[in-house]
Copies of this chain bind each other. A is one copy, B any other.
Amino acid sequence: MREIFEAELQQVGDDLTEMSRLVDSAISRAGTALLTADLQLAQSVIADDRAIDQLERDLDERCVLLLAQQQPVATDLRVVVSALRMSATLERMGDLARHIAQVARGRFPRHAIDPSVEATFASMHDAATRVARRTTTLLQTRDLTVAANIERDDDLLDQLHQDTFAALLTDSWTGDAQATIDVTLVGRYYERFGDHGVSVARRVVYLVTGDFAEDRGTPAVSA
């Protein structure tokens, strides 16, 4: 009985890691599609989001079956409940990558991001890609230094997000309403990506240490 349980729990962990890998690929390609106005790449991200959604449904069903058949308690129970939560978070990260790709597709053949803020969005793309990669690593290794690095990249994303507002509010901003909308929405998507990464990181920290950091919530959007 215990062996079956261990195998099923392992499968839940593997599914989470696989979801995270797909999200990692999606956010990486979405950012490239956005910054290079690559229609094909954008379309691939949009199409591939279904695989992430399906994996979430499979994983959730697996968790419910595991709860019903194995009736885990204590730490094992918390692992399964956390997996249910983390799969929902990873699914949302996939959605955000899809939204970024949809903006890239909607503006093609033009670039969605105004040249004056391209460097900021390139930095957001780098930070978000690191968050995704580290989330995968964290799920595989439960190495808590990785969790700390995710928190740092989230802080960076918050700062870059504020930078995008600052750029929009200077006199030198010459973008039209569409450009302002795109910078506002895509900036928001990247910022949320960091929040979700932190949410996964804190759940893993909790599973390892039993200590759940108070959720800081989403930072105020003050601009």
Contacts and interface: CB of A to CB of B under 8 A. Distances in A.
A67 interface: yes
Contacts of A71: 71
Given A177-B168, A180-B180, A185-B188, A53 B84 contact: no
A68 interface: yes
Interface string A87-129: 0100000010011001100100000000000000000000000
Contact of A217 (B53, B68, B178): B53
A64 interface: yes
A71 B168 CA distance: 54
A184 B73 CA distance: 46
Contacts of A169: 177-178, 181
A209 interface: no
Interface in A39-92: 49, 53, 63-64, 67-68, 71, 73-74, 77-78, 81, 84-85, 88
Nearest to A103: B221
A218 interface: yes
A220 interface: yes
Interface of A: 49, 53, 63-64, 67-68, 71, 73-74, 77-78, 81, 84-85, 88, 95, 98-99, 102-103, 106, 165, 168-169, 173, 177-178, 180-181, 184-185, 188, 215, 217-218, 220-223
Given A53-B215, A81-B84, A184-B184, 16 more contacts: A49-B217, A53-B217, A64-B78, A68-B73, A68-B74, A68-B77, A85-B88, A95-B217, A95-B218, A99-B220, A99-B221, A106-B220, A168-B177, A169-B178, A169-B181, A185-B188
